Structure 1
Amino acid sequence: MSYFVTGATGFIGRFLVEELLDHREGEVFVLVRESSLPRMEALIRHWGTDRVTPVVGDLATEALGVDPAWVAEHRGQVEHFFHLAAIYDMTADDATNEAMNVGGTRHALALAGDLDVGCFHQVSSVAAAGELRGTFDETMFDEGQHLPSPYHRTKFESERIVREEGSVPWRVYRPSIVVGDSQTGAMDKVDGPYYFFGLMKTMRDVLPAWLPLAGVDMGDTNVVPVDYVARAMDHLAHLPGRDGEAFHLVNPEPQPVVEMINAFCAAAGAPTFATGLDRGLTRRLPRAVQPSGLLNAVGKNGALQAVLDLVTSRVGVPAEVLAHTSFTAVFDSRRTERALAGSGIAVPDLESYARTLYSYWEEHLDETTARDPRIRAALQGKYVVITGASSGIGQVTAHKVAQAGGVPVLVARGKDKLEEVRAMIEVRGGQALVYPCDLSDLKAIDRLCEQLASELPSVDYVVNNAGRSIRRSLRLSHDRFHDFERTMQLNYFGAIRLVMGLLPTMQEQKRGHVVNVSSIGVQTNPPRFSAYVASKSALDSWSNVVASELVGDGITFTGIHMPLVRTPMIAPTKIYDKFPTISPAQAADLVVEAMVGRPHEINTLLGNAGAVMHTLAPKLTFRLLNMAYHVFPDSAAAKGEGSGGTRESEQIMLAKIFKGVHW
């Protein structure tokens, strides 16, 4: 059994090919344009397979432009032909939609007929339902519904072509709004609810999360993650006796738009919206005066849309998207649910993966840094050495540096992970360099410095981000002196060895800036972090002293007393899952600001308050910290022994009051 897939380099297509490779046997032929061969070859290397074979062609050409000799050779051998190549964009123009969605489907269907395939699998969309009101089930298609946009019209027309003009058996899949992977958050573009993420980020940065905001009932939407869509398609395509059927790949329960927005606002740490009126009351109003109806009408009016776009585009939301924030139809998916019964494939609750989606956007798709002229001016063409660049703060900082036109020099122990980071940066048009190094090995650091000095045109910035954290009370540390040695080795000795090794280069250049990712713990002295805080304090003190010696050489330092960040480093302490933290992207923004503004320190308000308390009222402060010491458990209890109940409530309350402190 072999497969043919169009749109394999696209978002859903990549996930479907992975499903076929993981769960099916046989060769997978993928349509690819000549110019996209390098991208496809990179994907094949990523998949680590010899079962994927590119077939050169073009969606805009008759029979997809595939070589007739190839068609003759493989006629009758392709069991499943998946057609995914299309425009999935409400903002695309009429001509583009027509060429790709209608013409492309007709050409794909012609090729499938020439190949005499077993089944043609068409990825349509619930957009084919247009503005039909009421229930739209999987047996329905042409119900005389209004099709309000080029996207709606071409999705309907391409499905009609498959149903009426094809010479081979077919199956149709109608996904709703497809978002990123529910497990990893992976997404390849800003679309659907992602258009609003930038606004949510702004709200988070300027408004307290507890501030109640007034909202209105905007109707219902329907969101599904891409991994569900790919798994469901793979399963449904291989069920016997289901040709000539359509399947709704949707959430069986429509999601109110406000609830969806609130799920993402909560994930971002932004305020959420409350609707003052019961939605039953707003539903009794004529559609034209319902909030969703008004927004729909404004979004469709060309003149109003142009005016509105002047405002909404400033926050990254195209005005035409506002016309499609909700669905008028309710999509019945009982046929699909019955077909998937027993497979373990189901739509997860949005609340369970909203943070995963938002975090991926913030770390990989947010282009705020790229649009900031001040940041671009400071980082364009600059070489930025980043330690701990394989994950967390370091990885996101590397993406932001590359966005601004800089060259992140990725340093960490694991070469494979660094190569993955570089690949992600290069896919988005950036440049990065990889230098694996064990930063707890001082001789390895010396070799790294020699390499960097000889191979880089300059060393403009050094970001000491790599670190080791240990959370353990002194009571449990008497037979673990190596905890103190390990933290000092990486957090202090490794960091200053790297800076000292690169100093001759920076002094020769007469410029250079060092950013030390320190900790709020240096200011607040939380219990159980004596090994970690001591190592960060040592780095702070060393930098403060040598800064006065080197400022005349054009070399400066910034110390960031970073609050608690949601990174792999804190993952072993499970109680932190319920603590307020900042995201790696927020932390990376602080690192970028340290490079651009070059302040001596970047502190939080709470960190400064802690430092003042230790200066003005040290005895009282230590008493308060001792109370916290007794409220928060040691590591063993944090893993589940004796936690919960009143004590857990006390912990979460204190964590929210002292947001960002490492307890």
Structure 2
Amino acid sequence: MSYFVTGATGFIGRNLVEELVDHRDGPVFVLVRRSSLPRIEALMRQWDSSRVQPVVGDLSQPGLGVDPAWITEHAGSIDHFFHLAAIYDMTADDATNDAMNVDGTRNALDLAEQLRAGCFHQVSSVAAAGDYQGVFDESMFEEGQPLPSPYHRTKYESEKLVRDEATVPWRVYRPAIVVGDSQHGAMDKVDGPYYFFPLIKRMRDVLPAWLPLVGIDLGDTNVVPVDYVAKAMDHLAHLPGRDGEAFHLVNPEPQPVVDLINAFCAAAGAPRFAVPIDRSVTAGPLSILPPALRPMQLVNAVIRTAPAQAILEQTIGRLGVPPEVLSHTAFTARFDSRATEAALAGSGIAVPDLESYARVLWTGWEENLDTSTGRDPKARAALKDKHVVITGASSGIGKVTALKVAQAGGIPVLVARGKDKLEETRTTIELRGGKAYVFACDLSDMDAIDRLCEELSRELPSVDYVVNNAGRSIRRSLKLSEDRFHDFERTMQLNYFGAIRLVMGLMPKMREQRSGHIVNISSIGVQTNPPRFSAYVASKAALDSWSNVVASEVIGNGISFTNVHMPLVRTPMIAPTKLYDKFPTISPAQAADVVIRALVDKPHEINTLLGNVGAVAHTVAPKAAFRVLNMAYHVFPDSAAARGKKSGGTAEAPAGRESEQALMANVFRGIHW
């Protein structure tokens, strides 16, 4: 088999190419503009396949601008021609939509005809159904449906071109709203529900998660993850005898818009919406009205007027939600996908429930697509062109902090043991137009740290910030630690000795430049003293105390410290303790936002309210504080790993303890019990 793919650098396209590389044989030719060759070469390295071969061309040119000699050489040899290059943007204007979606399809058909392709696979969209009312099945196309936007119109017209003018066999795929990968959340642009994520983030940051909000029934929508779309297309394209058919790549069950928003609110830790009047109450009376007079249709009609768009631009538009998108959040049609489901039967390919991957999507956006740091003028002023040394930068807080520093124009200096992961992070930063350095180092090795400091001092023009983020956590009671003194030694070696060795090694450079700021990622445990963390909390307390003493000695050199008493963060470090799966935690991106604040504002400490309460309690009522902590000691058992069992995870809670665990975890949010 041989393949030709347009739009291979796009979101769906590169996922499809990956499927073809992984599961099919033969060359995969990908159309690419000459200016985009570096991007496709970077993707080819990720695919790790010499079978992917770039073909220089241009979507706007007849025959896609492909060299006639190449066409002559490959005519009759292309089994599958996938046309994915298009614009998927509700906010784009008529001219852009026409050029990309209609003219681009015409030019792709021209090339497919010259190549005598075995089958032309057109990626259309459910938008081709426009504002059709009722069930829209896969055999339907020209139903007189209203086409309310340039995007809807050109998706319809490009599919019509394929149906009416293709001289080679064809198949059509109509995805619903495509979101990120359901396994790891990868997404390359803000679209669909992602437009509402900044608003959800704002709600999370200013409102308590338990606060109920009043919502309204906004109708039904339909989203599918990109990995499902790519796998389904690959499978459907290779089925015999299905030419001339359209396939709906949709969720078989429509998803209420409010449920969709609430799934992402739950993933973010934001308050959720309740709909006081369920649609089951209103469906009967409203069903007698003509579709155009039903409330949702009337609301959409008003939203699409010029005055309403102007008002929305000055309100929700300032929160990052384009007014054009608001009137297209719901579908008037219900998409029947029974033919596609039957074609996929037995393949193991099916649409996962949104609830199973909503958090993955939220994390992917929060860590990679949230641009709030880059848009903050204060952050840009503080970090632009500054060198920020970040330890533990291969994952978790360190990695996301690096991405946010780069977003603000800073230059992350990535330090961790694993060089491969650091290189992946550097590649991500460079693909986004930033710059980063990579230095692999075992921060528990004092000699290695000395060599690192020499390298940093020699190779960097300045060391403006140091973020001591690398750390080791051990959760084990003293009773189980009496023959494990090495736990204390190892924790102290990395969390305390490693951190101060690094700062001491870089201090001459900072003294010379008469500036520098060190951010220590400490722990809320230093203030609250939770049981079973004697090794971890002691190492962080030592770093706090050392920094407080040294700060008074170097402030005259323009060097300062911030100790961040971080609450429990959902990172790989806490993953082995399965008990924490049920705990309220903050995300690595939320923690990274705190680190950015420490870098920009340079306060002496950053604490949580609960951490401050714990510190005060230990000062004014220590006996009462220790009794509460002793109760927690008995409520939360040692993990299986701490007890020396290979299964890992957490021991069975004593009977009746589950409710006590949940109560304490939620009352004392952020403390790692």
Compute the TM-score of the two structures, normalised by the length of structure 2: 0.97
The answer (yes or no) to whether the contact 2:120–2:168 under 8 Å persists in 1 is yes
What is the count of residue pairs matched by the alignment?
A: 663
1:654 paired with 2:664, answer yes
Kept in 2, the 8 Å contact 1:384–1:409? The answer is yes
Give the deviation of 1:630 after TM superposition: 0.7
Name whichever of 176-185 and 276-285 sits farther off. 276-285
Task: Specify the alignment match of 1:420 in structure 2.
Answer: 424
Q: Give how far 1:281 is off.
A: 3.8
Any conservation in 1 of the 2:29–2:55 contact (CA below 8 Å)? yes
In structure 2, the partner of 1:483 is 487
Could you tell me how far 1:481 is from its partner in structure 2?
A: 1.5
Aligned positions of 1:313-332 closer than 5 A: 313-332=317-336
- Give the Cα separation in 2 of the matches to 1:648 and 1:428: 46
1:175 aligns with 2:175: yes
Q: Aligned partners of 2:49 and 2:135: how far apart in 1?
A: 43
Alignment partner, residue 595 of structure 1: 599
* C-alpha distance 67-644 of structure 1, shift in aligned 2 (>3 A): farther
Partner secondary structure for residue 228 of structure 1: helix
One-letter amino acid of the counterpart of residue 548, structure 2: N
Displacement after TM superposition at 1:46 (Å): 1.2
What residue identity is the alignment partner of 1:502? L
Q: In structure 2, which of residues 396, 406, 409 is the aligned counterpart of residue 405 of structure 1?
A: 409
- Cα distance in 1 for residues equivalent to 2:383 and 2:339: 54
Helix, strand or coil: the match of 2:637?
Answer: coil
Residue 51 of structure 2 corresponds to 51
**Does the 8 A contact of 2:638 with 2:651 survive in 1?**
no
Task: Flag structure 2 segments of 5+ consecutive residues without an equivalent.
Answer: 642-647
Residue 81 of structure 1 aligns to a residue in which SS? strand
Structure 1 CA distance for aligned equivalents of residues 408 and 529 of structure 2: 36
Q: Given the superposition, is the C-alpha separation of residues 276 and 72 from structure 1 closer, same or farther in structure 2, using an over 3 Å criterion?
A: same
1:621-636 equivalent positions in 2, closer than 5 A: 621-636=625-640
After TM superposition, the structure 1 stretch with the greater mean CA deviation from structure 2, 477-486 or 492-501, is: 477-486
SS class of match (1:240): coil
Matched residue of 1:410: which SS?
A: strand
What is the CA-CA distance between 1:280 and the residue it aligns to?
A: 2.8
Distance of 2:276 and 2:60 partners within structure 1: 50
Counterpart in 2 of 1:366?
370
> 1:277-316 residue pairs with structure 2 within 5 A?
277-283=277-283, 284-285=285-286, 286=289, 287=291, 290=294, 292-316=296-320
Distance 1:622 1:656 in 2: 19
Q: Does 1:567 align with 2:577?
A: no
Residue 303 (structure 1) shift? 2.8
SS in 1 for 2:315: helix
Matches within 5 A, 1:171-570: 171-283=171-283, 284-285=285-286, 286=289, 287=291, 290=294, 292-570=296-574
Post-superposition CA distance 1:357-410 (Å, at most 9, x none): 011111110011111111111111111000011111011111111111111111
Q: Residue 480 of structure 1: CA displacement?
A: 1.7
Q: CA deviation at 1:289?
A: 6.0
Superposed CA deviations along residues 215-269 of structure 1, whole A, max 9, x for unmatched, are 1000000010000000000011111111111000000000000000000111111
C-alpha displacement of 1:642: 2.1
Whether the 8 Å contact between 1:138 and 1:335 is mirrored in structure 2 is: yes
In structure 1, what is the Cα distance between the partners aligned to 2:139 and 2:207?
Answer: 47
C-alpha separation between the residues in 2 aligned to 1:406 and 1:289?
54
Q: Which digits, 9 at most, give the CA deviation of each residue in 1:284-310, with x for residues without a partner? A: 435556553244223321232122111
Check whether the contact 2:467–2:519 (CA below 8 A) recurs between aligned residues.
yes
Query: Residues 217 and 291 of structure 1 are in contact (CA less than 8 Å); yes or no, is this contact kept in structure 2?
Result: no
Question: Structure 2 counterpart of 1:326, which letter?
Answer: A
Equivalent position of 2:124 in the other structure: 124
- In the TM superposition, structure 1's runs of 4+ consecutive aligned residues that sit over 6 Å from their partners are none
Question: In the aligned structure 2, how far is the partner of 1:282 from the partner of 1:432?
Answer: 57
Check whether the contact 2:385–2:410 (CA below 8 A) recurs between aligned residues: yes
Displacement, 1:650?
Answer: 1.7
Aligned to 2:37: 37
CA contact (8 A) 1:179 1:226 kept: yes
Identity, % of aligned pairs? 76
Equivalent position SS for 1:478: coil
Specify whether residues 447 and 14 from structure 1 end up closer, same or farther in structure 2 by C-alpha distance, changes over 3 A only.
Answer: same
Report if aligned partners of 2:636, 2:653 keep a CA contact under 8 Å in 1.
no
Residues 319 and 488 (structure 1), Cα distance of their counterparts in 2 relative to 1, 3 Å cut: same
Shift of 1:476: 1.3
Answer whether contact 2:8 2:31 (CA < 8 A) is retained: yes
| TM-score normalized with structure 1 length | 0.99
